[in-house]
Structure 1
Amino acid sequence: MNTFVAVSNSGDGNRVMTSPDGDIWTSRESASNNWWSSVAFGMGTFVAVAKTGFGNRVMTSTNGIDWESQTSVPNHEWNCVTYGGDLFVAVATNRIMTSPDSVSWTLRTSPNFKAWSSVTYGDGVFVAVAEALGDEAMYSRDGINWRTGSTAKGYAWSSVTFGDGMFVAVSSTEAMDNVMTGMESSG
């Protein structure tokens, strides 16, 4: 599918926009007026998660245009969603939820109480980072069982991604070295 999708935390029913090329964007009707925070694509489906809503903090679409609310794990402010290893994974403060099909969601146990801000998948591993100071990372090979990871610096990590064989995280901390890179070791 050649479609870019972005979600918003404000607007009146038009909290989604799509683009075929990243240049020209079209507003789309969201499933609800939630505070949408992240969107991912997997298994032919776009999945968005929200920080607000009443049991409907997930919405899905197969084309990026028509959206449907899904029942989520309730009352958690979902910050980020990703797809990998045949599983959608979303993170919030001290919370993880997973779905094999984008419709049925299950709450998972976080290895520690952290404000998880971002999650990504690469090379068979899910990695999440958090926005509080300290060792703010966790990882999982299956998206269900998570372990605490150690970061290079005790910064407030705001986002993580994977590319070219490496995980890269950025921090909102005001410091010259607020980018962290790391390669997952096998084992």
Structure 2
Amino acid sequence: MSGNDSFGRGGILVAVVPGQPVIVLEHGARLADDLDLPLICATVDPNRYLVSSYVDGTVVALPYDPDLPEAEEERFDPELEEHIRSALAGRGIPYTLKQLAGDPAWALSRLADELDVRYIVVGTREAGLRGSLREFFNGSVAVHLAHRQHRPVMVVPLAPVPGAQNLPWEDPPV
């Protein structure tokens, strides 16, 4: 039940992001509990690319921006780790934490292959202009995962739009 235990094959991979509503983690935990599988909580730094990774979850990554500092070991965000620890407290679900770097869909897919996970759980994009712009330029992580690897992807809606309202990418009515 610690943050960095090693597991065998076939867990549930859940993508976690600082500030993300806990519902994504809760759905991943519920699925892991239902299937009696460990939970792998992974976060991705999209501003760096992977140079190497270690068994304890530490990665060495370089920034895409040449003006940023050189290679550095990245450890899992302590605040995010505490958030996960509190959300999973008392559930009895074994979990591990993984820090990744690079394109989120590619990094999650690579980890899913490496660990031979059963399912990948992600949240929908964040609401607002910033989230819409990021998704427009980078594409949806869920869509990329659904089309570029063979595992089922569970997409947890973070801000469902009622039936009569326009979806975030639709033009407002004229």
Normalised by the size of structure 2, how large is the TM-score? 0.27
Q: Report which structure shows greater RCO (CA 8 Å, sep ≥6).
A: 2
Structure number with higher helix proportion: 2
Normalised by the size of structure 1, how large is the TM-score? 0.26
